[in-house]
Amino acid sequence: MSRQDGSGRQVTTGPVDDSGTPILHVDMDAFFASVELLRRPELRGKPVIVGGGGQRGVVSAASYEARKYGVYSAMSMALALRKCPNAEIVPVDMPRYVAISKQVMTIFEEITPFVEKLSIDEAFLDVGGARRLHGSPAEIAWTIRTRVRQELGLPCSVGVAATKFVAKVASGRAKPDGLLVVPADRTLEFLHPLPVSALWGVGRVTEESLGRLGLRTVADVAATPLDALERAVGPAVGRKLHALANGVDPRDVSTQHVEKSIGHEQTFRHDLTDPEEIRRVLLRQAEDVAVRLRRAGLLGRTVVLKLRYTDFRTVTRSRTLGEPTDVAKRIYDEVCLALDALDLDGDRVRLVGVRAEQLRPSGIAASLWDPDEDWRQAERTVDRLTERFGRGAVRPAALVRRGEHDRVEPQRGQVDPFLG
């Protein structure tokens, strides 16, 4: 039994058949903001925005009170404050969020070993094998919500369903602080009235393409011939949407997490217009990405440059390599080529980012000839020096500001920059 309120929130309120619903999606509610309210309880009930950087910063999270004003994550802080001028601004404390996330995930893993962590604040659980110890899926979901609330003081929402897709939709419908079970035999009854935007992977462009066919609901997509969908949105997307709209999602909960991309980006307090200054930022970010790739034992086949201009136009340019790499010099060279192709011509840039995609384990199918091998050995030497002497002990010469090398003698344990 479930009920829906005027806001569209839908929760389970009574006995329900959960015998065919082993998949849970647990999503922490406004996680960053909820964590901050633990140490600042006087802000409860007020619109709270977690973010930084003043007017040029970006919203990392917003409490539900702030969301009522139209404030959402990734929005510019300036726009958020125009929408909600009475908001309380709290700086981001990522180490604290990561530490509490680990405690949340530990609760999940004490219920079942089959936990697929999607991000810092959400996960899928397969509780099919946990019934004997912990009860039915609905009972397990209730237990999880109770433990997270009692042990950590945080709210979460849980969707319980036969598939991952439906469980994720259900947790979203139950927000905030709710539980929704979708019985297996009522999956289509639950899905079909929803708008097409509820389908996984349907963004603005795909929604517009479906709208041109007159497809507004999930039921419309389910009833559309597959070949018509494939012509509208492409074969791969068309097949996926047709399957999801008909309640088909064969994916299992996976306990092996594979990074889809590794990247760094930075928003600046003052716009950048000098291409050389942008290149300095790109060099620093390329180094950070390469270090993370090597630590994770991964190689990236595609390198992506991201720029956001002062008017919030955002562009990305990608370059696919002949051989995947974890070498900063290669990553830097490729993003610089992408930057040159943009021809900035005085454009004002407020955000710069570098990302590696199409990741694979570094030991798989190594090339007979590695064009980056010499640089890789040099950078691994730098990794070892960094572990011993700390970050900044070795830096590319381009990251030493003009005159700095002449003014400052290397400190004990610091190595002169040698990468040109």
Q: Per residue in 301-326, pLDDT tens?
A: 899 999 999 888 889 999 988 788 99
Tokens of 174: 């139950």
Counting every residue, how long is the chain? Answer: 420
> Active-site residue numbers?
122
79, 85, 91, 92: CA torsion to nearest 10: -50
CA-to-CA dists, residue 24 to 127, 148, 380, angstroms? 7, 15, 42
Range with lowest mean pLDDT among 158-162, 297-301, 386-390, 395-399: 395-399
For tokens 């945080």, what's the residue?
154
Residues 316 and 338: their CA atoms lie apart, in Å, by 9
What is the pLDDT, as a whole number, of residue 346? 78
SS3 349: strand
**Contact status, residue 111 vs residue 144, Cβ threshold 8 Å:** yes
What is the pLDDT, as a whole number, of residue 205? 82
**Contact status, residue 140 vs residue 21, Cβ threshold 8 Å:** no
Residues 214 and 286: their CA atoms lie apart, in Å, by 45
Q: 18 labelled as ligand-binding?
A: no
Q: Per residue in 46-93, pLDDT tens?
A: 999 999 766 667 898 999 999 999 998 888 888 999 999 999 999 999
What is the pLDDT, as a whole number, of residue 186? 96
Look at phi and psi of residue 297 and say left if phi exceeds 0, alpha if psi is from -120 to 50, else beta.
left
What is the pLDDT, as a whole number, of residue 31? 96
What is the pLDDT, as a whole number, of residue 54? 63
Range with lowest mean pLDDT among 251-260, 278-287, 305-314, 334-343: 251-260
Q: Per residue in 115-143, pLDDT tens?
A: 999 889 999 999 999 999 999 999 999 99
Q: 26: closest CA among 143, 134, 197?
A: 143
Instruction: Specify which of 190-194, 339-343, 379-383 reaches the highest per-range mean pLDDT.
Output: 190-194
**Contact status, residue 156 vs residue 171, Cβ threshold 8 Å:** no
Q: Per residue in 136-166, pLDDT tens?
A: 999 999 999 999 999 999 999 999 999 999 9
Higher pLDDT, 111 or 203: 111
Average pLDDT over residues 202-224: 92
What is the pLDDT, as a whole number, of residue 1? 56
Q: What are phi and psi of 64, to 5 degrees?
A: -65, -30
pLDDT band for 339, please (50, 70, 90 cuts): very high
What is the pLDDT, as a whole number, of residue 376? 62
SS3 223: helix
Q: 58: closest CA among 72, 71, 77?
A: 77
Give the N- to C-terminal CA distance of the chain in Å, as an integer: 67
Q: Per residue in 7-24, pLDDT tens?
A: 678 999 889 999 999 999
pLDDT band for 297, please (50, 70, 90 cuts): confident
Residues 235 and 162: their CA atoms lie apart, in Å, by 26
Domains present along the chain, CATH in parentheses: 1-180 (3.30.70.270), 192-245 (1.10.150.20), 261-407 (3.30.1490.100)
Task: Report whether pLDDT(257) > 80.
Answer: no
Share of the chain above pLDDT 70, in %: 83
Distance of CA 121 to the CA centre of its chain: 10
pLDDT band for 390, please (50, 70, 90 cuts): low
Answering whether pTM is above 0.75, one says no
pLDDT band for 225, please (50, 70, 90 cuts): very high
Position 301: which residue type?
R
284, 285, 289, 292: CA torsion to nearest 10: 60
Strands 23-28 and 88-90, by their bridges, are: unpaired
Q: 27 labelled as ligand-binding?
A: yes
What is the pLDDT, as a whole number, of residue 312? 83
Contacts of 171 (CB under 8 A, 6+ apart): 25, 26, 27, 122, 157, 158, 159, 180
CA-to-CA dists, residue 43 to 37, 75, 223, angstroms? 6, 21, 48
Residues 385 and 415: their CA atoms lie apart, in Å, by 8
Residue 230: strand pairing partners: none
Residues 10 and 180: their CA atoms lie apart, in Å, by 7
**Contact status, residue 73 vs residue 31, Cβ threshold 8 Å:** no
What is the pLDDT, as a whole number, of residue 111? 96
**What is the helix (H) or strand (E) element at residue 87, kind and residue range?**
none
Higher pLDDT, 85 or 257: 85
What is the pLDDT, as a whole number, of residue 366? 43
Mean pLDDT estimate for the chain: 85
Contacts of 297 (CB under 8 A, 6+ apart): 361, 362, 363
